[in-house]
Chains A and B, each alone.
With several copies, the nearest count.
Chain A
């Protein structure tokens, strides 16, 4: 990715964005849970017990969490095929997510959705979405609801660098500007869409600037830096809540695994991922920055907690029943 186009990182005026210890630990816990969830799926997937396509979010944790820390349960998010991180950041039940990915009857979607369609509307999570560019148009709809209800609710869409090129995405941004909707479009620029580099497929090589041309404020931030994402999101979410209209955040952070599990990653330069793990680990960066107020032991305790939680989740998922075959025909219509 052309890093020259990356703007100066939006280093916070107040240290640690004014977050207190409890808030820092909450955010860190979510990021750590996403990491543990994804790494566990990576190994579970090797065992062959997980069906379908799995897209891991490891490496991008700071984006989902940095944004969602500003959201209330009644706010909405739309997501992508790479949706586990967004789900966890928005408060979905981690165990029931795992059950869903295992295709079990007690999964968040009763086993009917799977990894690419995990949703929990009661938490404002409008679903992972296997259509690239699917979330932005749903998010403007959710934002219309927010505007209509007049209670300062907002909607956020997460979209990849690949999805930033979709016509649906551009249409949604224009509509949001025209109707001044309380929505934030977050572009997760992880350098690749499948095996195609951002630098090739995004003709202008600058998602944020292109978005800004649509008439809404757009910022580009380092997506591995929780505090940078968090600060940009603070501005965008506040504007939306205050009725000042939509905004855009482009957050740059590569994924650590293949496009989907099992994919060979031939397009990564040698050592590229190792270097990321060394130098751009969002969790490590968080610990470094927050180390002044949170002790290493506290972080370790959280790390252990989330690993235990994921263990329980996998255990539950493995032990749960498959959906009964008669559920095949239910939930098609509300009325029959």
Chain B
């Protein structure tokens, strides 16, 4: 057990899995960095934010593959490699770029098994960065995991901390289905104790970060911290919030969702993916259909507004769901059944 950042946990997961299984190959833009440069034997980047640093030095160009800036070819190549026996881990640098390459996982990898009558599998992982907060503006700050979640045949995971990042990535790599693994760019520096040995966290198992009997707050990825901040404020007001991080949106741990609502009868969902047709709406719809009788108050959905992500820090900070919105929503649902 050592303290590791999310970045280090991801690197370690890749390292350990690649040592274990030679069919795992990484591919993406500058996952090594420095290919073709005059400087010899250079690993210039290890990913734009350093997440794959060191892997090229250990595994070489056959397994850590720098690619041209051609995301369709990256994801398509991964899909083709996966269906023929490899376990590719492709990097889509920013999830925002799915617009130029989605076909490879939307119409291809996710559908092979079904279209081919169960005779194929596509064990590939797409690692990708999501999230606002780095002043990266409208085309580098999105979190389109609601879209990935909606695609049958795809799985979708978004770790909130280093422990989950390692265990979920190892699971994603070993999983025989295609997985989109969403890394929030504001979380890479978050550190915690993480086992040195290898372990996998099954998908579809929520993490209950905090127990509480008054109100359930569901949050993914970086929103977990906003929820925890809100829970602190609420605790001071005597409101006990339960914080649930489902960790994967597909599959989704619906059992835990029902159980928490059984206990609290009140649900707040905070989610960065979308203001319309997002993961929050999906969960709200599920609970309102399946656990309606348990609800003591309307489900509260907290998302960014239905706008692109603005550049100016003055605006972006307001765009990102903040703790005070959760606090207000929780107060609302506490009042509702008075």
Residues of A within 8 A of B (CB): 51-53, 76, 78, 103-105, 107-114, 116-117, 119-122, 126-127, 129-134, 136-149, 155, 162-163, 165-168, 171-172, 174-175, 178-179, 192-203, 264, 266-269, 272, 322-323, 325, 327-336
Contact = CB atoms under 8 A, between A and B. Distances in A.
B60 interface: no
A194 B153 contact: no
B262 interface: no
Interface string B231-270: 0000000000000000000010000000000000000000
Nearest to A193: B69
A328 B321 CA distance: 13
Contacts of A107: 117, 312
Interface in B297-338: 305-308, 310-315, 318-319
Contacts, number: 312
Given A133-B100, A328-B319, A162 B25 contact: no
A163 B97 CA distance: 13
Given A166-B100, A195-B45, A267-B33, A111 B314 contact: yes
B312 A333 contact: no
Interface stretch (B5-13, B134-142, B214-222, B284-292): B134-142
A114 to B, nearest CB: 3
Given A117-B116, A119-B120, A103 B312 contact: yes
B299 to A, nearest CB: 23
Nearest to B152: A332
B195 interface: no
Given A114-B312, A196-B30, A267-B34, 16 more contacts: A51-B312, A51-B313, A53-B135, A131-B100, A134-B76, A137-B72, A141-B80, A145-B80, A168-B72, A175-B73, A175-B77, A194-B29, A269-B37, A334-B121, A334-B175, A334-B177
A108 B311 CA distance: 12
Contacts of B78: 141
B307 A166 contact: no
Contact of B33 (A111, A136, A195, A336): A195
Contacts of A146: 84
B179 to A, nearest CB: 10
Contacts of A136: 76
Given A109-B115, A332-B308, A171 B84 contact: no
Contacts of B29: 193-194, 196
Most buried by A among B48, B70, B113: B70
Interface stretch (B102-110, B159-167, B186-194): B102-110
Interface residues of B, number: 82
Contacts of B306: 332
B39 interface: yes
A323 B77 contact: no
B62 interface: yes
B146 interface: no
B115 A333 contact: no
Interface of B is mostly: loop
A137 B313 contact: no
A131 B105 CA distance: 12
A151 to B, nearest CB: 12
Contacts of B278: none
Nearest to A333: B177
B38 interface: yes
Nearest to A122: B119
Contacts of A192: 37
A331 B48 CA distance: 31
Nearest to B313: A51
B62 to A, nearest CB: 7
7 contacts: A110-B117, A111-B117, A112-B308, A113-B311, A141-B81, A196-B34, A332-B153
Contacts of B207: none
B121 to A, nearest CB: 5
B70 A171 contact: yes
A110 B118 CA distance: 8
A193 to B, nearest CB: 6
Contact of B116 (A121, A203, A336): A121
A79 B176 CA distance: 24
B284 to A, nearest CB: 22
B96 to A, nearest CB: 8
B307 A329 contact: yes
A191 to B, nearest CB: 9
A126 B37 contact: no
Contact of B97 (A103, A131, A172): A131
A53 B139 CA distance: 12
